[in-house]
């Protein structure tokens, strides 16, 4: 991963041969991203970052405030939870047939005793579904990329959607199953390409473009909307 480090700021540089301009952004998680043409020289990029340091610090403060203002989920009847890009309501039912968290007839249902640890139970449910869904989709996409992962796991990756080790082991955040299917497919392709290229070099984006021509559209959507898909 190409980075620029200036004082206490760490900026991730993402190059694209199709990009003509330089764009600086701060994700909701505080990650600073610099999108640049593949041919842009490092000195120019460093100068831009230095010129916009005040703007970056302002954005970091604002993003931190936004994260604190995000409403916390309540595990009560009527609360909405995302699954494959759509939001479904939860119904807490004191009923003999409702013994665990389930998704049935277009809604989530769980017994009152499970609601006491609602977040943990939803994470477990999402993790199971993500493991099944992603395993199936990897099987569909790996030939397209020309690679085969060593293994795949689903866990909490903090602010990352996915990661790939140098041995070809893929990991995905459990939150990925909350996203629309087309965004999940893109993230799977992204990590599969990392088996070939273990950084965000021009070669990586060249491979990515071949299998996901609209990758910049997906990246922009995830930057703008990704934080909405959470617990």
Note whether 10 and 32 are same-domain residues: yes
Note whether 62 and 115 are same-domain residues: no
Length of the chain in residues, anyone? 231
In a domain, 213, yes or no: yes
Can you read off the two tokens belonging to residue 21?
């301009």
**Count of domains in the chain?**
2
Final residue belonging to a domain, choices 69, 91, 118: 69
In a domain, 74, yes or no: no
8-40 burial: b if 16+ Cβ within 10 Å, else e: eeebebbbbeebeeeebebbbeeebebbbeeeb
In a domain, 109, yes or no: yes
Note whether 112 and 23 are same-domain residues: no
> Which pTM value belongs to this model?
0.73
Note whether 57 and 127 are same-domain residues: no
- DSSP β-bridge partners for residue 26: 32
- DSSP β-bridge partners for residue 91: 109
For residues 201 and 152, which has the higher predicted lDDT (pLDDT)?
152
Torsion of CA 190, 194, 195, 199, to 10 degrees: 180
In a domain, 99, yes or no: yes
Question: What is the CB neighbour count within 10 angstroms for residue 184?
Answer: 22
134-154 pLDDT, tens per residue? 999 999 999 999 999 999 999
Note whether 63 and 147 are same-domain residues: no
Q: Which domain holds residue 120?
A: 80-228
Note whether 115 and 215 are same-domain residues: yes
Note whether 88 and 202 are same-domain residues: yes
Q: How far apart are CA 13 and CA 202, in angstroms?
A: 11
In a domain, 164, yes or no: yes
Note whether 117 and 43 are same-domain residues: no
Q: How far apart are CA 86 and CA 70, in angstroms?
A: 19
Note whether 222 and 194 are same-domain residues: yes
24-57 pLDDT, tens per residue? 888 766 788 888 998 888 888 888 888 888 788 7
Residue 59 has pLDDT above 80, yes or no: no
Can you read off the two tokens belonging to residue 105?
């007839």
105-118 pLDDT, tens per residue? 999 999 999 988 99
Q: Which of 69, 49, 18, 36 is nearest to 214 (CA)?
A: 18
Q: Where are the beta strands (DSSP E) in the chain?
A: 2-6, 9-16, 23-26, 32-37, 80-83, 86-92, 102-104, 107-110, 151-155, 162-164, 169-173
């Amino acid at each position: 991963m190409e980075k620029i480090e200036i004082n206490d700021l760490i900026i991730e540089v993402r190059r694209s041969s199709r990009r003509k301009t330089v764009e600086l952004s701060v994700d909701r998680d505080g990650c600073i991203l610099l999108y640049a043409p593949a041919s842009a020289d490092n000195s120019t990029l460093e100068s831009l970052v230095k010129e916009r340091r005040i703007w970056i610090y302002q954005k970091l403060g604002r993003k931190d405030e936004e994260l604190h203002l995000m409403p916390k989920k309540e595990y009560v009847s009527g609360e909405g939870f995302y699954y494959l890009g759509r939001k479904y309501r939860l119904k807490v039912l004191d009923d003999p047939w409702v013994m665990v968290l389930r998704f049935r007839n277009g809604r989530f249902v769980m017994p009152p005793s499970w609601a006491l640890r609602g977040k943990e139970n939803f994470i477990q449910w999402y993790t199971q579904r993500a493991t099944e869904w992603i395993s199936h989709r990897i099987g569909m996409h790996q030939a397209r990329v020309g690679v085969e992962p060593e293994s795949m796991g689903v866990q909490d990756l903090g602010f990352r959607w996915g990661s790939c080790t140098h041995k070809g082991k893929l990991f995905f955040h459990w939150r990925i199953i909350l996203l629309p299917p087309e965004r999940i497919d893109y993230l799977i392709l992204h990590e599969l390409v990392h088996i070939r290229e273990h950084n965000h070099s021009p070669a990586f984006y060249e491979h990515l473009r071949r299998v996901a021509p609209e990758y910049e559209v997906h990246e922009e959507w995830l930057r703008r909307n990704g934080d909405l898909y959470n617990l």
